[in-house]
Amino acid sequence: MSEIRRPEYGSTLDRFLLERQRQFPEAKGEFTQLFQQLALAGKIIASRVNQAGLAGLLGHTGKVNVQGETVQKLDEFANDTLIRAIEGGGQVCLMGSEENEDPIPIPTKYPKGRYVLMFDPLDGSTNIDVNISIGTIFSVHRRVSEGGEPGLADCLQPGRSQLAAGYIIYGSSCMFVFTTGNGVHGFTLDPTVGEFFLSHPDIQMPERGKIYSVNEGNEGQWDDKVRGWVDWLKTPNKEQGKPYSARYIGTLVADFHRTLLKGGVFAYPADKKNKNGKLRLLYEAAPMALLAAQAGGLASTGTQPILDVEPTELHQRVPLYIGSKLDVEDAIARVR
Ligand code: AFP
């Protein structure tokens, strides 16, 4: 009879956060508490995602969001869950969600903290009904306005000033992957215990990969440089490890997660239809850019590091090239 292997459990998320907190004697634990609330929201969303077909949560609400997209029932559920989990905690003074047109204030009955939370509650909505990975993306900034009520300026901060960023992926397992500026760490949820356990400490992106990830259905809308770059990736060249393989899920969290672990490049270029690309700077590109940088990778608009883009609007879009350092450098050299 073959031996039954006992699962190996790493540190819990709570213990990991507390150990980090101890390294900063001046820390008041607010950051730790914020992460605990994010993890709780992630567990609630994960459990609903798992039961979606049974719980009447598939399909759309009949509403259209600020991006002009159909709001799925799970989009709305995830947005409400995050807002409810965070607003009463006292760590955050303002939130911004991809689903809400304006910044989300903290109700007056709750204390306000010094952090600003930006999030995409359920990235990859179009994949919800077909059982494909979806995810939650978030980033944390420090409040920059002084006195009075926090406002739009607190949300419109460049990626470089993010204190933390991460995502929760609802895939074949649920993982919480984040950085607080000290490497990228991945925790896997054991649903039978209800805890996230450290499964992927200090993730490093391979310097070069073998996969490109782009919606090639848009090829007819691309300019010649983007088309030339993708053709180059597909042209056989043994020494350069080409042709690359194509993978495209259509959920940024899932495409980025694969790129983080296996390397390669993901792109959503600007095209004739989407002059600034499709992806949102504050809820998608900037958080992933911080994760990529912390894992040794790169993220660019094609002409500028994503982390340097100064936001001017809450729902601003940017072209995105992200992934292994050498693959993104190749992309920049060819599409610029
Ligand atoms: P949805 O949340 O509307 O499904 O959009 C997902 C997304 O913002 C991002 O997660 C994907 O990478 C990208 O859009 C996919 O866009 P295309 O369907 O145009 O390829």
Tens-digit pLDDT profile for residues 27-64: 889 999 999 999 999 999 999 998 876 767 677 777 77
Statement: residue 10 has pLDDT above 80: no
CA distance 328 to 336: 12
The atom of ligand 1 lying closest to the CA of 255 is 12
Mean pLDDT to the nearest integer, 236-248:
96
Ligand 1 centroid–CA 126 distance in Å is 7
- 118-164 residue pLDDT tens: 999 999 988 988 999 999 999 999 999 998 999 999 999 999 999 99
C-beta of 124 in contact with ligand 1 (< 6 A) = yes
The atom of ligand 1 lying closest to the CA of 69 is 3
Q: What is the pLDDT of residue 60?
A: 78
Q: What is the pLDDT of residue 3?
A: 61
- 16-35 residue pLDDT tens: 999 988 888 888 899 999 99
Cα–Cα nearest to 226, from 259, 271, 265: 271
The atom of ligand 1 lying closest to the CA of 266 is 12
Cα–Cα nearest to 105, from 113, 120, 95, 97: 95
Q: What is the pLDDT of residue 25?
A: 80
Q: Which protein residue has the closest C-alpha to ligand 1 atom 5?
A: 124
Q: What's the mean pLDDT when you consider all of the chain? A: 94
C-beta of 240 in contact with ligand 1 (< 6 A) = no
Q: What is the pLDDT of residue 52?
A: 73
Give the pLDDT band of residue 4 (cuts 50, 70, 90): low
Show contacts of 195-201: CB within 8 Å, 24+ apart.
195/12, 195/13, 195/14, 196/12, 196/13, 196/39, 197/9, 197/10, 197/11, 197/12, 197/13, 198/10, 198/11, 198/12, 198/13, 198/16, 199/10, 199/175, 200/175, 200/261, 201/10
Q: What is the pLDDT of residue 308?
A: 98
- 73-83 residue pLDDT tens: 889 999 999 99
Q: What is the pLDDT of residue 8?
A: 64
Q: What is the pLDDT of residue 50?
A: 87
